[in-house]
Structure 1
């Protein structure tokens, strides 16, 4: 795939307990695709049907989304067989990221919810750090999710922490189609 190159590719981390990490990553992806660059978003641990799937579909072929280890409940709620399947799928997602970095098919690669993968020890932090340290210089990376490890924060060029001050779920209002999903 012949891809024009970014001048310099940096690493972003969007973390914290507040809403907006995936949304910020999507916004960066839309900006990048709009400038004529290629974007890949690899989503880990997300299985719900969300509005972003359809928005990204409209931006294709410049913005691709692939999901791995889709779940409809928390990792700790899974039985051993389900956990094994999630681990295999997450591993597959990492291999896809490595492949596209090696082949330099995209200018921006988003690893959405990679922090949850790390937090639940589904994938080893050292492997993700190695991926980032060895990425081509002209490829931008965005990593999202709560509980970013300190080592990941240290290697990143941008770190944004989304802080929750107030959220409607505190009043019993759950994810609404088109707003949170």
Structure 2
């Protein structure tokens, strides 16, 4: 590692634009997309802002770590799916759940009562054609001016990336799974 001097001058100009709701996308093949979105949800909730989390691939009865914590904190989190496609017994039913879930999420976004709406793992039903991309893009374009939306999942469509204000691509550098170490509760659950 090379040692460097800490910066002493601001290297970027201070933004002077108006504050407004943002569209943020966390994509890529690395870990941390949902975790980053949940961190934003916790940050907003900690500031007393109303937050709603939708998980497009998790079942409504899911009890992962984020569900337990969000319930304790009073942050609504809702599973909309029936698991990842390779676990589905009926992909037509999975697609129907995604469409019904999108209707709930879209109403929340357009309602403007939440400061932040998280659409976790939404890129999968978009990529599978279960939810039309154009209706999601329209809801994002037409959302109330102070509503922030964060969308997660691998392979975000280019049209979504173009619309977004901030896009972060998580890049896989190294993963314990390739060394034979299984997922562990509290780290990946």
Q: Is the shorter-chain TM-score for this pair beyond 0.5, marking a shared fold?
A: yes
SS in 2 for 1:70: coil
**2:66 counterpart of 1:56:** no
Q: CA deviation at 1:135?
A: 0.7
In 1, are the aligned partners of 2:82 and 2:88 still within 8 Å (CA)?
A: no
Alignment match of 2:102 (pick from 77, 87, 94): 94
Structure 2 partner of 1:174? 182
How many residues in Structure 1 have an aligned counterpart in Structure 2?
A: 169
Cα-Cα RMSD: 1.4
Structure 2 partner of 1:3? none
Structure 1 partner of 2:85? 75
**Alignment CA distance shift 1:155-1:77 (3 Å):** same
Quick check: which has more Rg, 1 or 2? Answer: 2
Structure 2 partner of 1:40? 52
TM-score (norm 2): 0.85
Q: Distance in 1 between matches of 2:55 and 2:179?
A: 29
Alignment match of 1:123 (pick from 116, 128, 131): 131
Structure 1 partner of 2:24? 12
SS in 1 for 2:187: coil
Q: CA deviation at 1:76?
A: 5.2
Any unmatched runs of 5+ in structure 1? Answer: 1-6
Q: CA deviation at 1:78?
A: 3.9
Larger RCO (CA under 8 A, 6+ residues apart) = 1
